[in-house]
Amino acid sequence: MKNIEQKILNLLKAAKEASLKLGNISARDKDRAISAMASELLKNTGYILSENAKDVALANKAGISEALVDRLTLTQKRIKEMADSLKQVAALKDPVGKILRQWKRPNELIIKKVSVPIGVIGIIYESRPNVTSDCAGLSLKSGNACVLRGGSEAINSNIAIHKVIAKCLEKFGIPKAAITMIDVADRSLVEFLLKQDSLIDVIIPRGGESLIRYVAENSLIPVIKHYKGVCHLYVDKDADIEMALDIMLNAKVQRPGVCNAIEKMLVHKRIAHKFLPKAAGVLDDKGVELRGCSETLKILKGIKKAAEKDWYEEYLDLILAIKVVNGADEAIAHINKYGSRHSDAIVTKNKLTAERFLKEVDSACVYHNASTRFTDGYQFGMGAEIGISTDKIHARGPMALEELCTYKYIILGSGQLRT
């Protein structure tokens, strides 16, 4: 084994040890540590910015894209946002130790199903340095140790943030390894990390589709995936047209670069002639590029024709692909084929049609007469989220503190034997 692999193993073993001790830290001490992390981030803004400047300079020298440099760059405002986010997490209710259910068996055994931390959570992420403090805060709050491995392009920023927040732990009795950073750039070591299923309990990749796929392909540890959001709005023949226009606009343009913005609109053929010209008008005002199926093109002359791959694509941009459909059945089938099981909405006044759509669309979040933009931990009232899961196993949709826990069964007896 290489020295560096041994070093990683030692870090992971310490994180595992720490995770077993976290169960005995009170909610109050966890919250005090998280609040201290927020204060320390603010106090050390100058230091963090100067370390971040090194990463930005290297990125610029390497000719990395402007969008990536933007994601990498920290400002005073962004550091304040990171601190605010930690303060909000500290203020949330402790998710650990809740009795989820309790029952008594005929033989008098009492079975309690209790929420407990998962253990060690591995976060593999890309260029945004704020993920370091966000994920550390959420993991600590839920009683988990975290192992952070950020992008090599943000390594100076991440090391600086980690240094600042990790020193807040020990004074509250929390082992320092509860927040562990793996600061190696080599990808083959990430593969090594992903094989340590006896030391890490779950991996959450945060980043683009290629990162997530790389992690899923190489991990022996369970992965909770947060793939893309190919979200749909279906405008039914029984839609309130004004409501449909408002929801369409909100879901497409309010913040086009996020995963819960719509990328596709399906329109019932019986309403298309009335609805589409109005829709095109308001979308055009906002600078949205439209791409249409052949039926759409008959109504909206001159827009670009959508190719087959358009139906799969997450633009994260001011682009909307539009398809005219024969009805709810076709809309549902289209969404289940091309969508990413994230968030999809129907606008209709017809309750039966809505019920069918809500039942049959196989997505984490299905909306009736509301914008898909509400798929978000805060909007759902769950608090900060670690991501929006497009998996169906363990966590689906916004993944917040509750989903960062698992459960155990505690069985209380008085000498019961199995017969």
Identify the CA nearest to 7 among candidates 197, 215, 220, 189. 189
Q: Sign of dihedral through CA atoms 343, 346, 352, 357?
A: negative
Binding segment (CB under 8 A) for a second copy, from list 20-28, 167-175, 269-277, 285-293: 20-28
Tell me the number of residues near a second copy by CB under 8 A.
Answer: 63
Tokens for 34?
Answer: 């998280």
In the complex with a second copy, the residue whose CB is nearer, 156 or 389, is 389
Considering only 4, 57, 109, 185, the residue that binds a second copy (CB under 8 A) is: 109
Binding segment (CB under 8 A) for a second copy, from list 86-94, 148-156, 158-166, 238-246: 238-246
Residues 314/263, Cβ–Cβ less than 8 Å: yes
Rounded to whole angstroms, how far apart are CA atoms 283 and 265? 12
65 in helix, strand or coil? coil
Considering only 222, 274, 289, 318, the residue that binds a second copy (CB under 8 A) is: 222
Is residue 385 within the footprint of a second copy (CB under 8 A)? no
Contact positions with a second copy (CB under 8 A) in 291-350: 336
Smallest distance from a second copy to CB 168, Å: 24
Identify the CA nearest to 48 among candidates 77, 79, 69, 72. 79
Is residue 224 within the footprint of a second copy (CB under 8 A)? yes
- DSSP calls for 267-307: EEHHHHHHHHHHHHHHHHHTT-EEEE-HHHHHHSTTPEEPP
Contact positions with a second copy (CB under 8 A) in 347-366: 358-360, 362-366
Tokens 């603010």 identify what position?
Answer: 42
Considering only 36, 79, 119, 123, the residue that binds a second copy (CB under 8 A) is: 119
Rounded to whole angstroms, how far apart are CA atoms 56 and 74? 9
Smallest distance from a second copy to CB 109, Å: 6
Is residue 220 within the footprint of a second copy (CB under 8 A)? yes
Rounded to whole angstroms, how far apart are CA atoms 31 and 27? 6
Binding segment (CB under 8 A) for a second copy, from list 133-141, 186-194, 268-276, 401-409: 401-409
Q: Which residues bind a second copy (CB under 8 A)?
A: 20, 23-24, 103, 105, 109, 111, 118-119, 197, 201-202, 216-217, 220, 222-224, 240, 243, 246-247, 250, 254, 336, 358-360, 362-371, 373-375, 379-381, 391-394, 396-397, 406-418
